Chains A and B, each alone.
Chain A
Amino acid sequence: NAGVTQTPKFRILKIGQSMTLQCTQDMNHNYMYWYRQDPGMGLKLIYYSVGAGITDKGEVPNGYNVSRSTTEDFPLRLELAAPSQTSVYFCASWSHKNTGELFFGEGSRLTVL
């Protein structure tokens, strides 16, 4: 199993551009999460999903959108990129929120100039 796969690993954007961070998991997990981590800080929850067709806001959703059309994929869309969105983004999934292991992707480092 590949686990949780994120693409791209690195990206530089100009202010105002848009892009999508891709996240795919092959473990048939229902729960998926997007986090951002600023330098020297902890993880902040952006959006999460409990299954295909269901998404909800986390702690810091402004400036982002998500969709969950399949169990496997949970893309994160950045509209009108701003320097404040410069961060490392992590996608995670788990099969059961109480007893399972939360699997993380390797992260996507985004710089907005």
Chain B
Amino acid sequence: DAKTTQPNSMESNEEEPVHLPCNHSTISGTDYIHWYRQLPSQGPEYVIHGLTSNVNNRMASLAIAEDRKSSTLILHRATLRDAAVYYCILSGKTSYDKVIFGPGTSLSVIP
């Protein structure tokens, strides 16, 4: 199964950028990288996904390393509402049809 590793926790000051790293050294060439986040007492929600190129949407940016063995989720200006657990997952050949979540990174935002 596709494996990702993330730091257990991170802190950020409000209105500052946040860079959340994810390592996926066993990624295959056809695996997609997805990011989800889970706010307290809610189900996970989609943030962003990509294959090779960097991606931007209204919520965040995804920076993918050239060798694709790591990626970084970038929140441009952290708000208190961004305090959540962030999960980096892979889908594709390595994981077949399973979608496996790791422990994720718990992000705290300091006012």
Chain A interface (Cβ < 8 Å from any Cβ of B): 31, 33, 35, 41-45, 48, 50, 56, 58-59, 90, 92, 97-99, 101-107
- Whether the Cβ atoms of B92 and A102 lie closer than 8 Å is no
Query: CB-CB < 8 A to A50: which residues of B?
Result: 97
- Residues 18-53 of chain B: 1 if any A CB is under 8 Å from the residue's CB, otherwise 0? 000000000000101010100000111110010100
Contact (Cβ within 8 A) B103 A45: no
Q: A99-B49, A106-B43 are in contact. Are A42 and B104 (CB under 8 A)?
A: yes
Q: Which residue of A lies closest to B93 (CB)?
A: A98
Partner of B34, one of A35, A42, A102: A102
Docked CA distance A32–B34 (Å): 17
Is B99 located at the chain interface by the 8 A CB criterion? yes
B12 at the interface (CB under 8 A from A): no
Residues on A with C-beta less than 8 A from B104 are: 42
Give the docked Cα–Cα distance between A45 and B102 (Å): 10
Q: Are B102 and A42 in contact (CB under 8 A)?
A: yes
Check B97 against A56 for contact (C-beta < 8 Å): yes
> From A51, which residue of chain B is reached at the shortest CB distance?
B97
What would be 17 A-B contacts, judged by CB atoms less than 8 Å apart?
A43-B87, A45-B98, A48-B98, A50-B97, A59-B100, A92-B99, A97-B92, A97-B97, A102-B36, A102-B44, A102-B46, A102-B99, A104-B44, A104-B45, A105-B43, A106-B42, A107-B42
Contact of A90 among B32, B43, B91, B103 (CB under 8 A): B43
Given contacts A58-B100, A106-B42, 7 further A-B contacts (CB under 8 A): A31-B97, A43-B87, A48-B99, A59-B100, A92-B44, A99-B32, A103-B46
- Interface contact A107-B43, CB-CB below 8 Å: yes
Complex CA gap A3/B10 in Å reads 32
Please report the C-alpha to C-alpha distance between residue A35 and residue B87 in the assembled complex, in whole angstroms.
14
The smallest beta-carbon distance between A87 and chain B, in angstroms, is 13
Cα–Cα distance between A59 and B78 once the two chains are bound (Å): 33
